[in-house]
Amino acid sequence: MLSELPRLVRYGWRMATQPKQVTIAGVKLNVPTGAHGRVLASIYAEKYEGLEVRELPRLLRPDDVIVEAGAAIGFVGLIAQQSVGAANVHMIEANKDLIPEIERNWRDNGVMSPQIYHGLAAAEAGPPVDFHVANLFWASSVIDHGSTRRTDKVEQIGLNDLFRNTGASVFICDIEGGEFALLPKLDLSGLRLIVIELHEKRSNAGEMEAAQATIKDAGFKLMQSFKNEVFIFERSTPLL
């Protein structure tokens, strides 16, 4: 408990003063516009994307190439680039409001901007589709969850081509329920590591099990999970 005391003191001070920037795991992170509630508290408590922050430095290799679907404010990518370099990080984000947030966070950390694709993560490239932008930045999705403040038309970014063209070895995915329809259409054969959020509250009966089975059938084993939401899969069979 004593080791936690400095962080708890910082948390209390931040909740009282509402700073616009915090440092988590050595990364400067600007508090995004509209952040409040549990996500704001997790940022101030230095627990935002906690499993990824703890595990990615251990799991990543210097030669890894990362594709991240649902980049949000760019924090997980910033953690990852410490291991693989900014040039090996490719980020997809469908909410156009978050692109400047990503660029600002990377700039404030003195890191060159990653390759950012504004669009919806899909198996194959395609014409614009509806993307529902929620009041809470982290809740926007291709699925209307009832908190939509506007609906944008966004291009579909083909992940299968992106995996092949970049030589991706790591896939990070947080797309607020869209993962269930996406996973069965993906070619995972070139990947060695998958870090994915499976949103049980936004799934139908059997979708959680089916999503995990899809990944395991592609030659992966579950290494770790957190609150039955964040799952880390590592390849258990040789790459094809």
| CA–CA separation, 229 and 237 (whole Å) | 24
| CA–CA separation, 119 and 93 (whole Å) | 6
- pLDDT tens digits for range 23-39: 999 999 999 887 888 88
Q: What percent of the chain has pLDDT over 90?
A: 72
Structure tokens at 200: 């049980």
CB-CB contact of 60 with 192 (8 Å): no
β-partners of residue 30 are: 21
- pLDDT tens digits for range 88-143: 999 999 999 999 999 999 999 999 989 999 999 999 999 999 888 887 777 777 77
Residue 170 parent element (H or E): strand 170-173
- pLDDT tens digits for range 60-96: 999 999 999 999 999 999 999 999 999 999 999 999 9
The predicted pLDDT at position 2 comes to 55
- pLDDT above 90: residue 203: no
49-235: CATH, from 3.90.1170.10, 3.40.50.150, 3.40.50.720, 3.40.50.12140: 3.40.50.150
Q: Is the pTM of this model over 0.85?
A: yes
- Domain edges within the chain: 1-48, 49-235
**Residue 235, C-beta contacts closer than 8 angstroms, at least 6 positions apart:** 191, 192, 193, 219, 220, 221
